[in-house]
Amino acid sequence: MLLSTTDIIHGKKIVTHLGLVRGNTIRARHIGRDIMAGLRNLVGGEVTDYTKMMAEAREQAIDRMVEEAQKLGANAIVGVKFSTTEMMQHAAEIMVYGTAIVVE
Protein backbone atom coordinates (compact mmCIF):
# COMPACT_ATOMS: atom_id res chain seq x y z
CA MET A 1 0.00 0.00 0.00
CA LEU A 2 1.43 3.36 -1.05
CA LEU A 3 0.84 6.19 1.41
CA SER A 4 1.37 9.86 0.62
CA THR A 5 0.73 13.09 2.46
CA THR A 6 0.38 14.82 -0.93
CA ASP A 7 -2.63 14.53 -3.23
CA ILE A 8 -0.67 12.74 -5.94
CA ILE A 9 1.95 10.03 -6.18
CA HIS A 10 4.67 11.03 -8.63
CA GLY A 11 5.08 8.52 -11.43
CA LYS A 12 1.63 6.99 -10.82
CA LYS A 13 -1.68 7.70 -12.53
CA ILE A 14 -4.80 7.84 -10.34
CA VAL A 15 -7.38 5.57 -11.94
CA THR A 16 -10.13 5.61 -9.32
CA HIS A 17 -10.99 7.56 -6.18
CA LEU A 18 -12.62 5.22 -3.66
CA GLY A 19 -13.31 7.70 -0.88
CA LEU A 20 -12.30 8.62 2.62
CA VAL A 21 -10.63 6.02 4.80
CA ARG A 22 -9.56 6.37 8.39
CA GLY A 23 -8.06 4.53 11.30
CA ASN A 24 -7.97 5.45 14.95
CA THR A 25 -7.06 4.26 18.40
CA ILE A 26 -7.52 5.66 21.87
CA ARG A 27 -4.74 5.20 24.39
CA ALA A 28 -4.81 5.83 28.13
CA ARG A 29 -1.79 6.64 30.22
CA HIS A 30 -0.66 4.20 32.87
CA ILE A 31 -0.12 5.34 36.48
CA GLY A 32 3.39 3.88 36.48
CA ARG A 33 4.25 5.86 33.38
CA ASP A 34 2.73 8.99 34.97
CA ILE A 35 5.04 8.65 37.97
CA MET A 36 8.09 8.24 35.73
CA ALA A 37 6.93 11.14 33.53
CA GLY A 38 6.59 13.32 36.63
CA LEU A 39 10.14 12.48 37.66
CA ARG A 40 11.38 13.13 34.12
CA ASN A 41 9.59 16.48 34.18
CA LEU A 42 11.63 17.48 37.22
CA VAL A 43 14.99 16.79 35.59
CA GLY A 44 14.02 17.48 31.95
CA GLY A 45 14.40 15.39 28.83
CA GLU A 46 12.29 13.13 26.69
CA VAL A 47 9.56 11.03 28.28
CA THR A 48 10.45 7.90 26.33
CA ASP A 49 7.56 5.78 27.61
CA TYR A 50 5.06 8.27 26.19
CA THR A 51 7.03 8.64 22.97
CA LYS A 52 6.93 4.88 22.50
CA MET A 53 3.21 4.71 23.38
CA MET A 54 2.32 7.42 20.84
CA ALA A 55 4.46 5.81 18.11
CA GLU A 56 2.67 2.50 18.67
CA ALA A 57 -0.70 4.28 18.58
CA ARG A 58 0.16 5.95 15.25
CA GLU A 59 1.21 2.63 13.73
CA GLN A 60 -1.99 0.95 14.90
CA ALA A 61 -4.10 3.78 13.44
CA ILE A 62 -2.23 3.51 10.11
CA ASP A 63 -2.75 -0.26 10.04
CA ARG A 64 -6.49 0.22 10.56
CA MET A 65 -6.69 2.84 7.81
CA VAL A 66 -4.79 0.61 5.38
CA GLU A 67 -7.08 -2.32 6.21
CA GLU A 68 -10.14 -0.19 5.43
CA ALA A 69 -8.59 0.95 2.12
CA GLN A 70 -7.75 -2.64 1.15
CA LYS A 71 -11.37 -3.65 1.72
CA LEU A 72 -12.36 -1.00 -0.85
CA GLY A 73 -9.82 -2.36 -3.35
CA ALA A 74 -7.32 0.51 -3.03
CA ASN A 75 -3.62 0.16 -3.63
CA ALA A 76 -2.73 3.66 -2.37
CA ILE A 77 -3.90 6.39 0.01
CA VAL A 78 -3.24 10.07 -0.67
CA GLY A 79 -3.71 13.18 1.44
CA VAL A 80 -2.77 11.30 4.61
CA LYS A 81 -3.15 13.42 7.74
CA PHE A 82 -2.99 12.80 11.50
CA SER A 83 -5.17 14.24 14.23
CA THR A 84 -4.81 13.94 17.99
CA THR A 85 -7.57 14.71 20.46
CA GLU A 86 -7.68 14.45 24.23
CA MET A 87 -10.77 12.29 24.84
CA MET A 88 -10.73 12.54 28.62
CA GLN A 89 -8.17 13.12 31.31
CA HIS A 90 -5.24 10.76 30.69
CA ALA A 91 -6.59 9.39 27.35
CA ALA A 92 -5.96 10.56 23.79
CA GLU A 93 -7.24 9.55 20.37
CA ILE A 94 -4.88 9.27 17.42
CA MET A 95 -6.68 9.39 14.07
CA VAL A 96 -5.20 9.10 10.60
CA TYR A 97 -7.22 9.67 7.45
CA GLY A 98 -6.82 10.05 3.71
CA THR A 99 -8.36 9.27 0.34
CA ALA A 100 -8.25 5.67 -0.89
CA ILE A 101 -7.34 5.42 -4.56
CA VAL A 102 -6.31 2.96 -7.24
CA VAL A 103 -3.14 3.87 -9.12
CA GLU A 104 -1.35 2.29 -12.05
User: Would you give per-residue pLDDT tens digits along the chain (104 residues)?
Assistant: 999 999 999 999 999 999 999 999 998 866 555 555 555 555 566 777 778 888 999 999 999 999 999 999 999 999 999 999 988 777 889 999 999 999 99
Q: What is the overall mean pLDDT for the chain?
A: 88
Residue 57: strand, helix, or coil = helix
Given a contact cutoff of 8 angstroms between Cβ atoms, the answer to whether 6 and 79 are in contact is yes
CA distance 61 to 77: 14
CA dihedral sign of residues 30, 55, 84, 2: negative
Superfamily of domain 2-103 in the CATH hierarchy: Hypothetical protein apc22750. Chain B (3.30.110.70)
Is residue 74 a contact partner of residue 33, using CB atoms and an 8 Å limit?
no
What is the pTM (predicted TM-score) of this model? Answer: 0.84
